[in-house]
Amino acid sequence: MKKDTSRRSFLKKATISTAMLTATPYIFSNSYDEKIVLSRTYQGSTSYTANDRINLALIGTGIQGIYDTQSALKIAGVQLVAACDLYTGRLERAKELWGGSIFVTRDYRKILERKDIDAVIVATPDHWHQKITVEALKAGKHVYCEKPMVQKFEEGQAIIKAQQNYGKICQVGSQGMSSLGNEKAKQLYEEGAIGEIVMLDMYNDRYSAEGAWQYPIPPDASMDTVDFDTFLGKAPNVPYEAKRFFRWRNYQDYGTGVAGDLFVHAFSTLNYIIGSYGPNRAMTTGGLRYWNDGRDVPDVTLTLYDYPKTKTHAAFNAVFRINFIAGNGGGGGFKLIGTEGEMEVGQNEVKLTRSKLGMLPSSYSMIAYTEATQKKIRKGYNQEALEPRASSLNVGTTVWQAPNDYKGGHYDHFHNFFNAIRTKGKVVQDPAFGLRAAGAALLANESYFKNRPVDWDPYHMKLLS
């Protein structure tokens, strides 16, 4: 009833707004096209005393770790005091970026031993996420763990239990989660802006070596500058190979492929917007089509997901498509398609398009009947009043855009994390939420490598087949 009431309210507002637009003689159609600036009032203070200061450490000073830290340090009252990485060149880079006084080490345990560190960012390869996160929570640190939260389905419960047992904040780092775009899309969905959801269409096209994870390897990379044995961790023991260390996403032993790198963002956003626990079935196809550089994960995938009916959404299907050799030059999209409209969602923008459902027959289907029969058919349809005037008024496009001074979804996600630490509040993406997003993404790998559909219990977060 609440959703029906919200939907009626949305339709009423849209009809009034559109009626005002169509009243002007310069508008020659019943559709509208408008842009609205998004806004948000942050919760909590933006200035802090010395006692409120949060000392932060970075574990994994690679690409994402650096971007994470740069965003984190934009939050007032946060300072970086230590950094860890298994490549000495990254430790030197950390000092370049954040000053020679910060503590650096190749052993993350030395970070966890320090009493002056309040929170850590875990931005290591995926196969280290669970171990370091659990140990950090046990050591009394708040944790921002990069997505995907886990490399394997069975690893997630240990993080959930550790967060509960040790009472520290744990935020999973899918940074678009806290964005203005997600916030607005959730509001619109709950108001019934697209009717009942029917499909989610997500795609990510790339056309560069860097986009396909062929990251540069530093010329000084060697067994002396890289602690390769520690990097391997629980993975199979193999001889030193620089590509495996610097391009770890390309290997099943250390990463989670396109699913863990890209799908998990989409699941985080989708589940947040529609209030869902996730899909219950997946089927994947694809292959290694171009980047034959030694990787053992596909560079082109297409995954179909089934979402069951719940209290917050109808049963629907989701399509996730990734192409790392897209000759169109690249691009991406995330669209929620419903019975009454479509929302294209980004961190900085939401585009809502509402269309008129054609209920009357056109000349295409009428051509087989005589003129007299056509006249009778039209009369019958008109008597049914299948296309009321209101359906024409609620047609058009609205774009909500973040203001020019918006600091971005990455900033918002860290703001949410640090505010929860200071207020003993809640984060938007806790370990249970993180496992549901990661679990849904990992279904794609399970299906691909088993070459069959797989089933998942999104509520209990368990693989069924």
Alpha helices in 312-370 (DSSP H): 363-366
Split at pLDDT 50, 70, 90, the class of 21 is very low
CATH (residue range 50-177): 3.40.50.720
Tokens standing for residue 12? 């009423």
Q: Which of 26-40, 77-91, 111-125, 376-390 has the lowest mean pLDDT?
A: 26-40
User: What's the pLDDT tens digit per position in 113-135?
Assistant: 999 999 999 999 999 999 999 99
Question: How do strand 119-122 and strand 142-146 relate by DSSP bridges?
Answer: parallel
Split at pLDDT 50, 70, 90, the class of 16 is very low
Share of the chain above pLDDT 90, in %: 84
d(CA 182, CA 179): 5
Question: How do strand 341-345 and strand 331-338 relate by DSSP bridges?
Answer: antiparallel
Split at pLDDT 50, 70, 90, the class of 18 is very low
Share of the chain above pLDDT 70, in %: 89
Give the mean pLDDT of 413-433: 96
pLDDT number for residue 49: 66
Split at pLDDT 50, 70, 90, the class of 20 is very low
Split at pLDDT 50, 70, 90, the class of 13 is low
Tokens standing for residue 319? 């399509």
Q: Quick check: 254 and 126 in contact, CB under 8 A?
A: yes
Judge if the upstream peptide bond of residue 148 is cis by omega within 30 degrees of 0: yes
Strands (E), 247-394: 281-287, 300-307, 316-323, 331-338, 341-345, 349-354
Residue 462 clears pLDDT 70, i.e. is over it: yes
3-state secondary structure of 31: strand
All structural domains of the chain with their residue ranges: 1-37+349-401, 50-177
Beta-carbon contacts of residue 100 (< 8 Å; ≥ 6 apart): none
Residue 383 clears pLDDT 60, i.e. is over it: yes
| Residue 231 to residues 85, 239, 254, 318, Cα–Cα distance (Å) | 10, 12, 9, 35
User: What's the pLDDT tens digit per position in 168-225?
Assistant: 999 999 988 999 999 999 999 999 999 999 999 999 999 999 999 999 999 999 999 9
Residue 4 clears pLDDT 90, i.e. is over it: no
- Residue 3 has phi, psi (to 5 degrees) of -65, -40
User: What's the pLDDT tens digit per position in 288-324?
Assistant: 999 999 999 999 999 999 999 999 999 999 999 999 9
User: What's the pLDDT tens digit per position in 64-87?
Assistant: 999 999 999 999 999 999 999 999
